[in-house]
Amino acid sequence: MPVLPTPRDITLIGVPVEEGAGTLGCAMGPRALRTAGLARALRSLGHAVADAGDVTPVPAAELAATAEARNLPVVAGFARATRDAVATALAAGSVPLVLGGDHSLSMGSVTAVADHCAAAGRPLFVLWLDAHADFNTRETSPSGNLHGMAAALVAGEAGLDEVLGAGRATLDPRRLTLFGIRSIDGEERALLAARGISVVDMRLIDEFGAAVLIRRVIDAVAAAGGHLHVSLDVDVLDPAIAPGAGTPVAGGATYREAHLVMELLHESGLVGSVDVVELNPFLDERGRTALLLVDLIASLFGRQIWAHDASGMRSTLG
């Protein structure tokens, strides 16, 4: 019989931002995840779930949008509000579960977690589950869409300091792992190499398997006594099983690969904060992608078919 996980306090934070993306529709993502039964699934596992509602953007009228940073004031407003909401949840000892919205919201969520970890003297690691690297800057981005610059901002790349202001903590790029990658822009590729960022593309997953590679991440975080932030973009999944993505790329993670990653992350006990981003219900098929994401989050927080011992072998003893 499955064993219920250790109960945790979880705070749902909706961020209905879509202005960082090139396709509209992500603003409906938080509502879709709620409608698909996210809170109910987590409570069924014994967790205490509080829904903080959707954030209200903090005014950023001093900023101006440009072709290199489209919709910058709106995106910055959501990022600032997200940072504040995540910081509040962390201060209360709760696990922030941020519901997007496009990936630009991670500018705020990861910054809040970085500030929290810096104050606690604990290293922050980020697992970026995505088809795209999201490590462009104003200078390298071919589109100017800010969701493609989120990882670069949280890792301290220059050019968007005005989004969250000076004095914020940043992520050590060597503690960022991009996982499931299958689309990298040309200049972005050079920047990733220069910063020493770990890129686990689908070629590596095909060759070595998701379990081996995710355990490498887990082992590094555990050895450092770190906090692991998981930023899950729906387009890490193959579009055949997750059609509700605005920037789909063929050849993504399968249903079982994704669940295995979530299950291993849960078993590690290291995940302290989570983003779920880029769900676009307008492109979905009868809620199919939203329901899959709810299942994956449930696996991340302890849903399992059967209890397993430390060696991974199924226990047959009572």
Residues that are catalytic: 103, 130, 132, 134, 147, 233, 235, 278
Alpha helix stretches (DSSP H) within 45-157: 72-91, 106-120, 150-154
> Tokens 């932030």 correspond to what residue?
229
Evaluate whether 149 touches 198 at the Cβ level (below 8 Å). no
SS3 113: helix
CA distance 298 to 293: 8
Q: Name which of 74, 69, 60 is nearest 27 in CA terms.
A: 74
307 to 1, 5, 47, 267: CA distances (angstroms): 7, 10, 18, 11
Question: Residue 145 is encoded by which pair of tokens?
Answer: 């869409």
List for the chain the helix, strand, coil content (%; round to 5). Answer: 40, 20, 40
The answer to whether residues 38 and 12 touch, using CB atoms and an 8 Å cutoff, is: yes
Please choose, from the candidates 41, 54, 69, 43, the residue with its C-alpha nearest in 3D space to the C-alpha of residue 12. 54
Compute the CA torsion angle 40, 236, 97, 285 (nearest 10 deg).
-40
